[in-house]
Amino acid sequence: MTKLTRRSMLGAMGAAAAASAFSAIPAWAADRSIRHFWWGNPERDKRTFAVIDVFQKANPAIEVSGETIGWGDYWTKMATQTAGRNMADLVQMDYRFLFEYVRRGALLPLDEHIGKSLMIADFDQGPLEGGKVDGKLYALNIGSNSQVMVHNTRVFQEAGIDADLINWTWDDFAKACETITAKTNGAVKGSDDLSLMIETFESWVRQNGREFYDADGKVTATVDDVASYWQFWADLREKGAVRDADKTVILDPPIAESGIAVGDTAMSHYWSNQLVGIQAVAKDKIGAAMVPHKAGGKPGQFIKPSMFMSLSRDAKDTDAAMAYMNAWVNDPETTAILGLERGIPCSPKVRAALAPNLTEVEKMSVDYFEAIQSRVGPLPLPAPKGAGEVRDAFMRVGTDVVLGNAQAADAATAFIEEAQSIVERAQ
Amino acid sequence: MRRFFARNAPAYVFLLPWLIGFFLLALGPILASLYLSFTRYDMVNVPEWVGLDNYVYMFTRDRRFWKALDVTFTYVALAVPARLIMALGVAMLLDKGLRTIGLYRAIFYLPSLLGASIAIAILWRQLFAADGVVNQIMATFGIQGASWITNPNTSLYTLVILAMWQFGSPMLIFLAGLRGIPRDLYEAAEIDGTPRWRQFTRITLPLLAPVIFFNLVLQTIDAFKTFSSAFIISNGTGAPADSLLFYTVYLFNEAFKFFRMGYASALAWVLLIIIAVFTAVAFFTSKYWVHYENERD
């Protein structure tokens, strides 16, 4: 027989009190809650949390919690949450990873909500297409962007560069680099060295009339493509017309460390939705140029969805999640806060509403977008599994070329072999 | 039996938190990773049994695996002796019976406490960058520095220096060992006119052997497992050109960047075996060079 002691009695009372307290919690917390997870930067986080506040005010019954982290750690955290069946209800998605996550069954299609809780009938169809996998919409475009050669307008003017920055060629680019370096006595190099920038290299391959990957996900870029690309930059490096190798081999540096921000180069490569962020850290006024073209070549650059919002498999309250998603692309107050920070919105109504209030740099990015329309190629197929690893390999093998430890041609052979085996293994 | 429990029950109750922790948080995952190492597992779909495929691929086709071994072994071979020599040297300096020894011990131990931290790794990256402090100091002596961290030929050595600087915990153990050596041995040696160096090789080293052995095993295991500093300094990728591709960094990338949990588990088990072999070799050879005071030979 158990003896009732003073201590056990107190314990039981404490437990009872605790239990009653817990049951009381839902009475003053919101009944419904959703989580939104995105990769960000300080500016984007500020705007997104402001949007959450707006939604919260309009829908007091739904509690939204925002989670954010930098791009580098985002995919690690996402993979861990996916494995643990604990994904946020709404996740920010990237074109590069979309197929991978759909194939793993981590995302839900949005088709059944269109016209009911997701109003996107009047949106541009082209940018929406990018979010489809096997004919179903798995990811809602929340902004489009394209590559851009950001340049320092003051240095360009002082060096007397008068090339047509939308239609220019790689030759024009190389000449501009040399002129700028010479005119400034090397204080400002012509450009960042883009040897390790696979995004620019992908344009280079397309200009040669090929895609990096074919429809089956095989590597179709050739050794010649890689060798000629690395050689192009090696020649500029030899002339001292691009940034020092020491700085080039620092991979994926933050915007504030790029040549255009530090002021030691006149050009850097970025995505057009980053223009606002770069202007914020650059001393001089920046301008937007296209990735140079190959004389007589095909269009290399393309317009792509910069970010998507997707509904995850682990979403519990899909109605609440869809209401939030719909507000993101339609609600005037919300879209005004978001502006162009995530890219150009694909709703014509939203664009028209934003137009009168654009800042100078935002206006430049819209103008740039208009100007490149006729010079870009079609959106490439989404990259196959393993594409992220191929990107790493490109930077790793390229580092040896940049540091002069390997010849462009030899390294190109090694890279293509490695890329092929990475993709093969990832399937 | 009942008596056994009656007598030991309190001990087991006190051990319970640790036992639960071990069985739930350590043993379970350890066994799971052994199973996973024979599968292909992308963290989302169900693991698929592939037998020895992961191990076969590792040893026959994976060039980065060998590169990771190369980097890690080079590091262990350089960092462990460097740290132990540093630790012993400082311990002998502190063994002179200074009055403020407590303070010095704390100061010298500090880097070891900070060593595993992210902040120190970032600091290190700044120190050895192209325009970092190291080069600025060298420039005042008219020496043109290099970019130590971004050059594949020198990047690993910056980490060896970092390891050397974190000599605190072996130093404390050496210090305790030195305190245990009877002073009269040195006095006798002094009277016989034995030079300092011979005192060191004939008295200090032999009597310190068990402590050296203990530190050697611990530091070797520690060095094989080096992760956070390499991860931060190489931006998580082993860059530049895989010169900082430590085994654990490679393992982390395979697991959490490329979602090959099965393969990463196999890598983890190979590392475990490597460490076990090294420890076993150390123990086996120890009987030839380590003598314990209570032994008779």
Assess whether pLDDT exceeds 80 at residue B224: yes
Same domain? For A272 and A420 the reply is: yes
Question: pLDDT of A228-241, one tens digit each?
Answer: 999 999 999 999 99
Choose, out of A80, A403, A424, the residue to mutate when testing the contact with B (most B CBs < 10 Å).
Answer: A403
Are residue A136 and residue A187 in the same domain, yes or no?
Answer: no
Q: What is the pLDDT of residues A302-314, one digit of tens each?
A: 999 989 999 999 9
Residue B286 predicted with pLDDT over 90: no
On whether both A333 and A240 belong to a single domain, the answer is no
What are the Cα distances from residue A315, in Å, to A62, A256, A426? 14, 36, 28
Residue A23 has pLDDT above 60, yes or no: no
| pTM, two decimal places | 0.81
Q: Do A405 and B239 touch (CB under 8 A)?
A: no
Domain that holds residue B252: 54-289
DSSP string, B247-276: HHHHHHIIIIIS--HHHHHHHHHHHHHHHH
Contact A246 B259 (CB under 8 A): no
SS3 label, residue A341: coil
Q: Which residue of B has its CA nearest to A389?
A: B258
Residue B44 domain-assigned (yes or no): no
B48 to chain A, any CB pair closer than 8 A? The answer is no
Residue A12 in domain = no
CA distance to partner chain B, nearest, from residue A364 (Å): 33
What is the ipTM metric for this complex?
Answer: 0.78
Contacts of B152 in chain A (CB under 8 A): 399-400, 403, 405
The Cα B232–Cα B162 span in angstroms is 13
**B239 falls within a domain:** yes
Asked if pLDDT for residue B44 goes beyond 90, the answer is no
Mean predicted lDDT score pLDDT of chain B: 87
Among the partner-chain residues A106, A247, A396, the one whose CB lies closest to the CB of B241 is A396
Instruction: Decide if B11 is inside a domain.
Output: no
Cβ–Cβ below 8 Å for A403 and B151: yes
| A395 pLDDT tier (thresholds 50, 70, 90) | very high
| A106 and A150 belong to one structural domain | no
- CATH for A331: 3.40.190.10
Same-domain pairing of A316 and A416: no
The mean predicted confidence, pLDDT, of chain A is 88
> Can you give the residue range of the structural domain that contains A80?
31-143+306-346
Nearest to A142 by CA among A383, A310, A270: A310
- Whether B41 is in a domain gets the answer no
Residue A6: predicted pLDDT: 47
Element (H, E) at A141: strand A140-141
Q: Is the dihedral of CA B59, B61, B67, B68 positive or negative?
A: negative
Cα Rg of chain A, angstroms: 25
Query: Given phi > 0 = left and psi -120 to 50 = alpha, else beta, which region is B241?
Result: left
Does some domain include residue A400? yes
pLDDT tens digits, B65-76: 999 999 999 999
User: How many domains does chain A divide into?
Assistant: 2
Let me know whether A40 and A89 are in one domain.
yes
The string of DSSP letters for A384-418 reads PTTHHHHHHHHHHHHHHHHTTSS-HHHHHHHHHHH
Q: Based on the domain organization, do A175 and A271 belong to the same domain?
A: yes
Closest residue on chain B to A85 (Cα): B44
Angle between the N-to-C axes of helices B28-36 and B261-289, in degrees from 0 to 180, rounded to the nearest 10: 110
What proportion of chain A, given as a percentage, has pLDDT over 70? 93
Cα separation, A378 vs A223, whole angstroms: 24
Residues A139 and A99 in one domain: yes
Whether residue A252 sits in one domain with residue A125: no
**A92 forms bridges with which residues in the sheet?**
A309
Task: Please judge whether A396 and B237 are an interchain contact, meaning their C-beta atoms are less than 8 angstroms apart.
Answer: yes
> Mutate which of A86, A103, A249 to test chain B, going by most B C-beta atoms within 10 A?
A249
What's the distance, Cα to Cα, between the start and end of chain A in Å? Answer: 65
Q: Is residue B258 part of a domain?
A: yes
Residues A249 and A195 in one domain: yes
Q: Is the pLDDT of residue B296 over 60?
A: no
Regarding whether A292 and A160 lie in a shared domain, the answer is yes
Question: Helix (H) and strand (E) counts for chain B?
Answer: 15, 2
Q: Which residue has the higher pLDDT, B155 or B145?
A: B155
Residues in B touching A397 (Cβ below 8 Å): 241
A420 contacts A219 by C-beta, under 8 angstroms: yes
Q: Which residue from A365, A407, A378 is spatially nearest to A148, judged by alpha carbons?
A: A365
Contacts of A82 in chain B (CB under 8 A): 43-44
- CB distance B242–A396 less than 8 Å? yes
The amino acid present at B47, given as its one-letter code, is P
A230 neighbors A412 (Cβ within 8 angstroms):
yes
Amino acid (one-letter) located at A76: T
- Condensed to tens digits (0 to 9), the pLDDT of residues A343-386 reads 899 898 998 999 898 999 999 988 998 899 889 998 888 888 88
Q: How distant is the Cα of B258 from the closest Cα of chain A, in angstroms?
A: 7
- Residue A21 pLDDT > 60: no
For residue B62, which residues of chain A lie inside 8 Å, CB to CB?
Answer: none
Q: Is the Cβ pair A250, B150 closer than 8 Å?
A: yes
Q: Choosing among B58, B148, B258, B263, which should be mutated to test the A contact, i.e. which has the most A CBs within 10 A?
A: B258
- Going by C-alpha positions, the residue among A232, A220, A234 that lies closest to residue A416 is A220
Residue in A closest to B129 by C-alpha: A246
Judge whether B254 is closer than 8 Å to chain A, CB to CB.
Answer: no
Any domain includes B296 = no
Whether residues A246 and B130 touch (CB distance < 8 A) is answered with: yes
Per-window interface: B 160-219 vs A, CB < 8 A: none
Q: Which residue of A has its CA nearest to B53?
A: A425
Q: Angle A252-A254-A255 (CA atoms, 0-180°, nearest 5)?
A: 115
Instruction: Provide the number of structural domains found in chain B.
Output: 1
Among B44, B152, B241, beta carbon nearest to A104: B44
CA distance A191 to chain B (A): 19
Residues A85 and A163 in one domain: no
Mean pLDDT, to the nearest integer, of B138-144?
A: 78
The answer to whether the Cβ–Cβ distance between B235 and A392 falls below 8 Å is no
Instruction: HSE, CB side, 13 Å, CA atoms: give it for residue A163.
Output: 26
Nearest-CA neighbor of A291 among A190, A181, A202, A392? Answer: A202
Query: Which segments within A153-291 are labelled E, that is strand?
Result: 267-271, 286-289
Question: Per the domain annotation, does B58 fall within a domain?
Answer: yes
CATH number for position B195? 1.10.3720.10
Report if residue A372 sits inside a domain: no
Q: Which residues of chain A are at the B interface, by a Cβ-Cβ cutoff of 8 Å?
A: 72, 75-76, 79-80, 82-83, 104-106, 244, 246-247, 249-252, 386, 388-389, 392, 395-397, 399-400, 403, 405, 421, 426
Q: How far apart are the first and last CA of chain B?
A: 42
Residue among B44, B147, B258 minimizing CB distance to A105:
B44
In a domain, B108, yes or no: yes
A407-411, B138-142, B250-254: least confident range? B138-142
Residue B36: per-residue pLDDT: 95
Top residue of A392, A418, A427 to mutate, by most chain B CBs within 10 Å, is A392
Question: What chain B residue is nearest to A406 in terms of C-alpha separation?
Answer: B241
Nearest to B152 among A75, A389, A403 (CB): A403
Residues B223 and B271: their CA atoms lie apart, in Å, by: 12
Residue A341: inside a domain, yes or no? yes
What average pLDDT score do residues A65-82 get?
Answer: 87
